[in-house]
Amino acid sequence: MSDALANQIAAGEVIQRPASVVKELVENSVDAGADEITVNIKDAGRTLVQVIDNGCGMSAADARMSFERHATSKIYTSDDLFCICTKGFRGEALASIAAVAEVELKTRREEDAIGTQVVINGSQFMGQNPVSTPAGTNFSVKNLFFNVPARRKFLKANSTELQHIVSEFQRIVLTHPSISFSLYHNGNIIYNLPQSTLKQRIVNVFGKNLNQELIPVEIDTSIVKISGFTGKPAASKKRSDKEFFFVNSRFMKSQYFHKAVALAYENLVRPDCIPPYFLYFEVDPHSIDVNVHPTKTEINFENASDIFRLLQAGIRETLSKSDVAPAIDFDSESDDIDVPYFSKDAPMPPMPKVSFNPFYNPFDNDSDSGSRSSSHSSMPYPSAPMPERERHNLDNWDRLYNDGIMHDDGATLADVSSSFAPKVENRLIQIKNKYIVSPSKSGIMVIDQRRAHKRVLYQQYIEKVDVNADAVQTLLYPVVLNLDVQSFAMAFDIRDEFQVVGFDMEFNEDNSIVIKGIPPYLSPDSATEVVNDIIDSYKEGHGNVSTSIKDILAIAAANREVIPYGKSLTPEEMRQLIDSLFATNAPNFSPEGEPVIVIIGMDEIEKRFTNS
Ligand code: ADP
Ligand code: MG
């Protein structure tokens, strides 16, 4: 095989689009020790990619050599292959670029009086001449893929190719804040990034708004050091283009570690949103394997699961320290206030039977149940106004009464209280049969009962979807869904995923689907809607198909059972709902992302009183 052909094949792997050229050339400039790098692009890189640096430059001989395959000056032993401290390491980037473009190199070392120029077109050496040029290196790559029309045709719209270039550029500049970079497209400046701190670099790349939104991260352990910045929850976005991991100064894509960050933000941001993050890992180079992917953005870690945990816990801690995580704890500090409440584990003062009437209702003036006035005056604790905790329990008193549990006047307080869980429950009030209100550490907590319940059900179903994967509920009347070509193709594409979760579907040539069976926990009425939702979500293409299918199913199942607004809840029911809500992993949001809990802070309450 000729070298030219070998290079062209190699180029297929290394050079996929103009952005790959930008990446390889700029990384070489970084490796050459430059502290100023300029990138000029014309026509999204089709016509020209030019990279100029003030790095170490090359001798005339090295300049000629640099286009040979495996001409790297950077690998000395095979051990170096694992220990990648420089950017390029295979010594084939320049050879590959030169195989599929017209390349002109001008370079000069500081110590040389005159520089050298090399021209190569499609692997063909065109000539080398002395040239007067500033110290450093200047590569011009023209007419990319001029000799591989198929590849040239394969390039996307200019805007897309430019977007790829910008992404590659960002990945590099975010790891080298001490180098100044500029990027031009058709003579217009896109980025002009002076040497700066990392934070300043991030802000210079992504805009001033980020300045207020970044929290520094510093996680220092024996297996990994993680530094950088993570966004405040308020900065979260549905689809963020500001999620960056770097490992030993190299950009890394990782759904896995993304998940760790997402988990750290759980409850703090809407489940489908994520704040920007810029996280830099430092690990022992021997503990990673960067060769799993030809373009090297995916990296295998020896200690991946440990790092996952460290990352999640570290970010979580960073957030809690920085005070951006709202405190949603119930108010437990003021539990020892002076009003006795009915808890079986709280010591009760001995009470004369006649002097206390649990059916007393301060709001019910017509009530003649019990000897109100006498009990009132002889209560062993302040009697007016009615103690707050008792008021909360009035509903339950009624229920107990109506249920006939309390018919016997001889029932003791301890008997009554046995049906009450202590503390929290006794402080829950339902308003408008819609919200549950409770004091909380920082003020008043208001919980939307329906959304809370939905979150609880969702959590139960999401686990069921996994477990009962192959149970099917056969429909008495199969449902026919007529789809457009695209939706049908999409649905067909994920037919296995449908089947796994319990759908029995028939795909017909006329783009219709017959739904014959659905997962057992779905209502037959919702079959069409759920299937459509699943297809839509696949169309929109967020994330993993089977995860989003499970999500949609669990939401549909939860919606089927969720309690309506307008349902009055007993204190015990409220307590159970709230207990289960806080046992879920995202109590702050309904599965659809609506807020479940609102906290009205003390300052807000106090403001209301002072302003009036
Ligand atoms: P690699 O970067 O893997 O070594 P390349 O094909 O990218 O392989 O580059 C080949 C060699 O050319 C490098 O090892 C380096 O010696 C030299 N070189 C490339 N670009 C520059 C530059 N901007 N400044 C100085 N030397 C360079
Ligand atoms: Mg290189």
The string of pLDDT tens digits covering residues 524-550 is 888 888 898 888 877 776 556 777 788
Contact 175, 246 (CB under 8 A): yes
Instruction: Give the separation between CA 455 and CA 245, rounded to whole angstroms.
Output: 31
Q: How far apart are CA 202 and CA 225, in angstroms?
A: 20
Is the beta carbon of 141 within 6 A of some atom in ligand 1? no
Looking at the predicted structure, is the pLDDT value of residue 366 above 50?
Answer: no
pLDDT of residue 470: 63
Q: Of all protein residues, whose CA lies closest to atom 12 belonging to ligand 1?
A: 66
Alpha carbon 313 to its chain centroid, in Å, reads 15
Q: What is the pLDDT of residue 565?
A: 86
Residue span(s) of the chain under CATH 3.30.1540.20 come to: 388-612
Answer with the residue of higher pLDDT: 296 or 104: 104
**pLDDT class for 607, splitting at 50, 70, 90?**
confident
Question: What mean pLDDT do residues 58-77 have?
Answer: 80
Residue 344 has pLDDT above 60, yes or no: no
Contact assessment for residue 461 and residue 554, using Cβ atoms and an 8 Å cutoff: yes
CATH of 388-612, one of 3.30.2270.10, 3.40.640.10, 3.40.50.300, 3.30.1540.20: 3.30.1540.20
The reply to whether ligand 1 has any atom less than 6 angstroms from the CB of 90 is yes
Location of each CATH 3.30.230.10 domain in the chain: 198-321
Query: Could you tell me the pLDDT band of residue 382, with boundaries at 50, 70 and 90?
Result: very low
What pLDDT score was predicted for residue 86?
42
Q: Which residue's C-alpha comes closest to atom 23 of ligand 1?
A: 29
Q: Determine which helix (DSSP H) or strand (DSSP E) holds 39, and give its type and residue range.
A: strand 36-42
Residue 138 CB–ligand 1 contact under 6 Å: no
| The pLDDT value given to residue 325 | 55
Residue-wise pLDDT tens digits, 218-267: 999 999 999 999 999 888 887 667 999 999 988 998 989 999 999 999 87
Q: Which CATH number fits domain 3-193: 3.90.550.10, 3.30.565.10, 3.40.50.300, 3.40.50.2300?
A: 3.30.565.10
| 78 band by pLDDT with thresholds 50, 70 and 90 | very low
* Ligand 1 mutation target, pool 94, 106, 109, most atoms within 8 A of CB: 94
Three-class SS of residue 505? strand
What is the whole-number distance in angstroms between the Cα of residue 187 and the centre of ligand 2? 26
- Work out the average pLDDT over 506-535: 89
Taking a C-beta distance cutoff of 8 angstroms, is the pair 48, 142 a contact?
yes
198-321 CATH fold: Ribosomal Protein S5; domain 2 (3.30.230)
pLDDT value, residue 339:
29
Find the ligand nearest to 137 CA. 1
Q: Which ligand is nearest to the CA of 139?
A: 1
User: pLDDT-derived band of residue 272, with 50, 70 and 90 as boundaries?
Assistant: confident
Q: Say how far apart CA 84 and CA 77 lie, in whole Å.
A: 11
Residue 66 banded pLDDT, cuts 50, 70, 90 = very high
Nearest to 78 by CA among 70, 299, 95: 70
Q: Is the CB of 28 within 6 Å of ligand 1? A: yes
Domain with CATH 3.30.565.10 in the chain: 3-193
Q: What band does 126 get if pLDDT is binned at 50, 70 and 90?
A: very high
Tell me which residue has its CA closest to atom 4 in ligand 1. Answer: 72
> Which pLDDT value is given to residue 538?
78
